[in-house]
Amino acid sequence: MIQNATILLVEDNADDLALTLRALRKHNVANRILVARDGVEALDLLFPAEAKADAIPQDLPHLVLLDLKLPRVDGLEVLRRIRSHPTTRLIPVVILTTSDEQQDLLAGYGYGANSYVRKPVDFTEFTEAVRQLGIYWFMLNRLPPPGE
């Protein structure tokens, strides 16, 4: 387990964002959480100096929880960019979306998602899903060091 692991939560819907943060707190996921409200914000957090060809992302998250239906740059493009950069390609990415579309599921895994979780509408089910994500990704799973 990595101590002080950081989660990047990419979510544009204010209600879903609040619900996810509440579910994480409810289940004592005390990790640092960075929030991006669209794909551009996510990419700016992951690649702050992208204009410089030799720039290396700093303060990388250990896990990305990524919505697909995002404004400005969609989640699949964010995922594609994460996987195409040598310093971010190993960061686990969990797609956390309301989409039940087969094409989104296939595209998500095709672009290298580690997991695809459909957000339940019910709060109790959703908090249980978040609890299980926290247990798996931060207690059971071994994460690669950031930037490796």
Please name the fold of domain 6-49+58-140: Rossmann fold (3.40.50)
57 has pLDDT over 60: no
Q: What is the pLDDT of residues 119-147, one digit of tens each?
A: 877 778 888 888 788 778 777 777 776 66
99 neighbors 67 (Cβ within 8 angstroms): no
28 has pLDDT over 70: yes
Percent above pLDDT 70 for the chain: 87
The DSSP code sequence of 14-68 is HHHHHHHHHHHHHTT--SEEEEESSHHHHHHHH-TTTTSTT----S--SEEEE-S
- Location of structure tokens 């060809």: 53
Quote the pTM value.
0.86
| Per-residue pLDDT at 51 | 45
pLDDT greater at residue 71 or residue 123: 71
103 has pLDDT over 70: yes
